[in-house]
Structure 1
């Protein structure tokens, strides 16, 4: 939800937009070198990002020793810094240069085969690598629809929207009207993108395991699959440090097609885990994925109970 306009918000938006424009012409190799300088600063001075990253990595990789997890946390914050620095390139940079930075495509046949059979494709796009580069590539090569929620800084909305739509992507709101638009796109055998690892509001999800811990997970996917017979793939733009990007499409865990929402959600989370395994440092571990808990759900005043996948 966009914040009301204010002088401080305008100044902040102007500073961010200026940074994006300044970096829009930089090449991935230069942006990566800059991220290697800024990542350690984030780790040192941003206690929130450092703490959440470490807590999540402890949950996801308990088998690693402390030194290995610290190393992974440092690398993760460098990759997160790279993602932020690359936004100007992804949204405002030269189209041909950005296309040229995508050096590898893996699994495209999963999309092509589904569309050849008359099926739409649902792309699960987790916060891995640079998802804006993935959006650029998808909308450059397929009719593509994705949900969009305006940023908190309202002044940045036109920049982000224009950047995501510049290759023809159709952005729809995160409400029933947007869901209807996704259904129509899938029935036209087009591709749609959804965020599988963003915590939904109460009533729009179920609890399912994610790296061994119950995470509140959206139930939009089984509703789309049930009404469209769409195929589901996971898509990421993996960073090739100092070089560019590799696009990967992976077949989703078969449980995503189950009619039971909790089982399907478990399949979604397993699909995200499989994508993260490509390079765990490139996942956005600083996101509070476990904010909602089953214990909190049981105590909600509306009395609504939430099923757990066991």
Structure 2
């Protein structure tokens, strides 16, 4: 069901005239650059992305080391040359996706839908008709496919605010809600999302962050014990909704995106270890199709198990 250009609903932060102060000048400059790139040819965006990715790799050695560490932990069987190529492509994909915020915020819904393909259209239509939990992870296509979902169905998502930068929070809220979706800060918990699910709508659930041992259980992720939030099964059981693993992919040859969606999975609601394992396996199956697409720059294993120190120190 197309929703068109509906006005944002339920934004947690209104526009403030303080956003026009000089302290936010750099943010507005980037905003203007994104607007220009939104209407630029793909080859120009790709060229800018190459430059941004190369600069980022050189200036932020810490982030580069995190990516290299994660790839070595998760794909020890791959030759060093393969992992090095994945690292370079990973940064290029992330840079292009960042520049594509302009297309998401300024181009029409029709254009955005024409730039998106779905791996299983019938399965996606089932999700749209019945609602459900969209189990996903961070990747190059996360923002894009999130917008695609909101153009096709009603639902909600959770987000982490950008610290004290109120203008960035406002811009991202406006962008994510432009097609009628509802986004809620993480501190509001699951209650608003359960309400949407019980109404037969969708919940775009990002399930791969390491939020610490207090909120997680350990389960294998590409063979490495990872602190995982095991809530997907409980959410599905309480709301009587199905869980659809999904992930967005970016095609650097064309600048188009693909929504990968797999058949619903069963996540035990009363066994946290088994639930965490099922969540990680569902994400692994999607990530393994094209590993560089995933956001390996996250500290996926920062919560250490008793037999393993923090690998990022």
Q: What TM-score do the two structures reach when normalised by structure 1?
A: 0.84
Residue equivalent to 2:112: 98
1:94 CA drift (Å): 3.2
Contact 2:128–2:152 (8 Å) recurs in 1: no
Q: From 152, 164, 168, give the equivalent of 2:180.
A: 168
Query: Is the aligned partner of 1:132 residue 2:146?
Result: no
Which segment drifts farther, 86-95 or 152-161? 86-95
Name the CA shift for 1:79/1:250 in 2 (closer, same or farther; >3 Å). same
Structure 1 unaligned runs (5+)?
298-310
How far, CA to CA, are the matches of 2:132 and 2:303 in structure 1? 29
How far, CA to CA, are the matches of 1:85 and 1:113 in structure 2? 32
| 1:205-238 deviation line (CA, Å, top 9, x unaligned) | 2111111111111133122022122111122221
Residue equivalent to 1:46: 60
Q: From 79, 83, 90, give the equivalent of 1:65.
A: 79
| 1:56-109 deviation line (CA, Å, top 9, x unaligned) | 00011111111111111111111111111111212233333222211x212243
Contact 1:121–1:231 (8 Å) recurs in 2: yes
Name the CA shift for 1:294/1:31 in 2 (closer, same or farther; >3 Å). same
Residue equivalent to 1:302: none
> SS of 1:192's equivalent?
strand
Structure 2 unaligned runs (5+)?
1-12, 309-313
Which segment drifts farther, 32-41 or 65-74? 32-41
| 1:23-58 deviation line (CA, Å, top 9, x unaligned) | 232344432332233322222232012111110000
Residue equivalent to 1:283: 294
How far, CA to CA, are the matches of 2:128 and 2:232 in structure 1? 18
Residue equivalent to 2:208: 197
Contact 1:122–1:233 (8 Å) recurs in 2: yes
Residue equivalent to 2:4: none
Residue equivalent to 2:162: 151
1:129 CA drift (Å): 2.5
1:178 CA drift (Å): 4.1
Which segment drifts farther, 211-220 or 163-172? 211-220
Query: Is the aligned partner of 1:183 residue 2:181?
Result: no
Counting only pairs closer than 5 Å after superposition, residues 283-302 of structure 1 correspond to structure 2 as: 283-295=294-306
Name the CA shift for 1:281/1:114 in 2 (closer, same or farther; >3 Å). closer
Residue equivalent to 2:35: 21
1:258 CA drift (Å): 4.7
How far, CA to CA, are the matches of 2:41 and 2:147 in structure 1? 16
Q: What TM-score do the two structures reach when normalised by structure 2?
A: 0.84
1:296 CA drift (Å): 10
| 1:231-273 deviation line (CA, Å, top 9, x unaligned) | 111222211213111111113553x235211211111111111
Q: From 104, 115, 126, give the equivalent of 1:113.
A: 126
Contact 1:207–1:217 (8 Å) recurs in 2: yes
How many residues get paired? 290
Query: Is the aligned partner of 1:247 residue 2:256?
Result: no
| 1:170-189 deviation line (CA, Å, top 9, x unaligned) | 112323x4411111111111
